[in-house]
Every structure is written in C-alpha cells, then in structure tokens.
Amino acid sequence: MKPMTLKILEHQRLSDDAYLLRLEKPEWTWKPGQLVGVTGKKAQDQRDYSIASGPEDDSLDIVYRLIPHGAVTPYLVNLVEEEALQVTGPYGRFTLRDLARPMLFCATGTGIAPCRSYLRSFPELKLTLLHGVRYQKDLYFRDEFEGRCQYLPFCSREDLDGSSGRITDALKEMELPEGAQAYLCGANEMIYEAEEILNHRGISHKDIFREPYYYRAYDN
C-alpha cells in the first residue's frame, strides 16, 4: 500500500492531552474498526491509529494522546488545518463480527476510537460501552455516546457522580448482556485482565476481540 497525503480539515483539542484530527477522505474506503498507519516527521516513524469515523462520514478521523517523549505524537500536535499528513491503509481486523449480537466494548483512553466508528456506522448496535479514563475531563465523546448506547464511564483518579474505579472492577460485578461479544481496546493491561474476568463470567475466547495499543503505559 502506498502512503497517501491527506489534508487536515480540523485539529481539535479534546482534553489536556487528547486530540481529534479530521482528515480529508482518501480514495479508498474502510471498514469500521480498521486503522491507518501515520508517518511522523521522519519517514521511518510510523504509528498505527484506529479510524474514529465511519466510512459514510465526510472525514477520516483519528484520536490520539500526546506522548511528550514519543516519536510521532509531538509532531502531530503541531500540525494545523490545511497542512498534510502521510497516511497508509486501511489495515486491521478489529471489525464487527456479528451485528445482531449485543456488544460489550471496553476502552481505555483513546481506545474509544473504533467504537465511535462502529456506532456512527451502525446506530442500531446493541452496545454497552465501558470507557475508562483518569479524570472526568478525559471523557471525550461522552455527549456522542450518552443516550445512544448503554454508556458507562469510569475515572480512576477522581470521583464520578459518587462512583469511581476501573473497568475491570465493574466487569466482575455488573450484569453482562446475554449472548454478548466483547471488544477490548487500549491499554494491554486492561485487555489482559478484562479477558480473564470475562472468561470466568462465561464469555469464551472466541467471542472476545482485542486491539492492544501499547504495552508499557507512559503516565503523568
């Protein structure tokens, strides 16, 4: 696949360190859940980003967290509208398997991106979304999801409407949708732990799909 140059339509700050980049649509299309490779300042610096918009939307969106010592995101953060970005794709198999079955989507941070693409493409999905972040201000897209699915936010570092905690604690106790398939996206630690809990609770490996973003988290 050859890299394409796509113009930036909009670059929006979503929270202290998360950003939404809306790019012009490429000449190819994608399936909800797929990703693109993005080239940084140097050609050898390539990183993957889930596509956060649906193929029927009028832009190709990505959501990224700025990692100050990273190779690519400090380059992305300085880009402005009308500038261009090198993108390759689409890749990936974190696509929807069975639209008819209830979906349990667990995301940490920017791992919510593919879920946004799913719901924008298939508003009728029977979706339960668990979004784990550090602070309330990191609950970007809350307005988009609330009321359109069962939306369960979690903040690990502050109280949220009287409750706080982690996705994995909730998974141990909550009522799981009957016959659900689980999609896990973001920090590898969450994915690993969530899969173990879901297995114990009766969701087998073949009904669990994973998209790990990173293994050793940068934190601040």
Ligand X SMILES: Cc1cc2nc3c(=O)[nH]c(=O)nc-3n(C[C@H](O)[C@H](O)[C@H](O)COP(=O)(O)OP(=O)(O)OC[C@H]3O[C@@H](n4cnc5c(N)ncnc54)[C@H](O)[C@@H]3O)c2cc1C
Residues that bind ligand X (CB under 6 A): 35, 47-50, 62-65, 67, 70-73, 109-110, 113, 211, 213-218
**Cβ-based nearer residue to ligand X, 50 or 181:** 50
Q: Shortest gap between Cβ of 217 and ligand X (angstroms)?
A: 4
**Minimum CB separation from ligand X for residue 193, in Å?**
16
Q: Which is nearer to ligand X, 109 or 132 (CB)?
A: 109
DSSP H or E stretch at residue 189 = helix 188-200
Task: State whether residue 17 is helix, strand or coil.
Answer: coil
Comparison of 28 and 218: residue with beta carbon closer to ligand X: 218
Give residue number: closest CB to ligand X.
70
Q: Shortest Cβ distance from residue 216 to ligand X (Å)?
A: 5
The token duo for 58 is 């009028």
Question: What beta strand segments (E) does the chain contain?
Answer: 4-13, 18-23, 35-39, 46-50, 60-65, 84-91, 103-108, 127-133, 150-155, 181-187, 208-214
Count CB neighbours of 211 within 10 A.
20
C-beta of 71 vs 79, nearer to ligand X: 71
CB of 1 to ligand X, least distance (A): 15
The helix/strand/coil state of 107 is: strand
